[in-house]
């Protein structure tokens, strides 16, 4: 298998949870890709930061296992969707004022995206034991 292509020539990427119960496809048209160091992202992943890529909701589709997920967070606002079997974070639903986006944890992608993280955010609350060694810009919050 591999990367699919839409009619417009833009690739569709495959992704999913660790055990394979949940799979998704996302158009390779991310609005941004960032490394988030906030305490919630660190606790969700168990890592120093979470690489995420933001995309509009119409570019993201759960292709299998929608009934195999559980929600953590506000059902009407920001929440995370996890695989009920393996616990993997599959995606986050981000409601910001009038726009709604999906945050795809980049580690769940099977196919390589065309965009790489371009910055570190919430570095003011990063893990004290982790040192950022790349040259990407760093922000204490989400720049906007």
In a domain, 104, yes or no: yes
State which residues form the domain around 29: 4-125
In a domain, 133, yes or no: no
| Four-CA torsion 115, 116, 120, 122, nearest 10 degrees | 60
pLDDT reported for residue 95: 74
Cα 4 from Cα 17, distance rounded (Å):
19
Structure tokens at 127: 């893990």
Q: Residue 43: which CATH number?
A: 3.90.1590.10
In a domain, 17, yes or no: yes
- Is a pLDDT exceeding 60 seen at residue 68? yes
Instruction: Classify burial at 35, counting beta carbons within 10 Å of its beta carbon; exposed 0-12, middle 13-18, buried 19 or more.
Output: buried
Q: pTM of the full predicted structure?
A: 0.87
Number of domains in the chain: 1
CB 32 within 8 A of CB 45: no
In a domain, 97, yes or no: yes
In a domain, 39, yes or no: yes
In a domain, 134, yes or no: no
In a domain, 137, yes or no: no
Place 142 in a pLDDT band, splitting at 50, 70 and 90.
Answer: confident
Taking only the tens place, the pLDDT of each residue in 8-65 is 557 999 999 999 999 999 999 999 999 999 999 999 899 999 999 999 999 999 999 9
* 83 contacts: CB under 8 Å, gap ≥ 6: 17, 18, 19, 21, 22, 65, 68, 69, 90
In a domain, 23, yes or no: yes
Instruction: Give Cα 141 distance to the centre of its chain.
Output: 17
């Amino acid at each position: 298998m591999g990367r699919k292509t839409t009619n417009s020539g833009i690739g569709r990427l495959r992704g999913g949870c660790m055990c394979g119960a949940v799979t998704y496809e996302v158009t390779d048209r991310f609005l941004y890709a960032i490394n988030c160091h906030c305490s919630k992202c660190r606790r969700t992943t168990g890592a120093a930061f979470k690489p995420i890529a933001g995309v509009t909701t119409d570019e993201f589709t759960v292709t299998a296992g929608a009934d195999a997920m559980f929600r953590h967070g506000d059902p009407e606002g920001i929440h995370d969707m996890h695989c009920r079997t393996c616990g993997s974070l599959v995606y986050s639903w981000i409601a910001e004022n009038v726009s709604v986006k999906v945050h795809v944890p980049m580690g769940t992608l099977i196919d390589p995206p065309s965009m790489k993280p371009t910055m570190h955010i919430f570095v003011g609350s990063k893990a004290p034991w982790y040192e950022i060694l790349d040259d990407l810009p760093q922000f204490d919050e989400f720049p906007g």
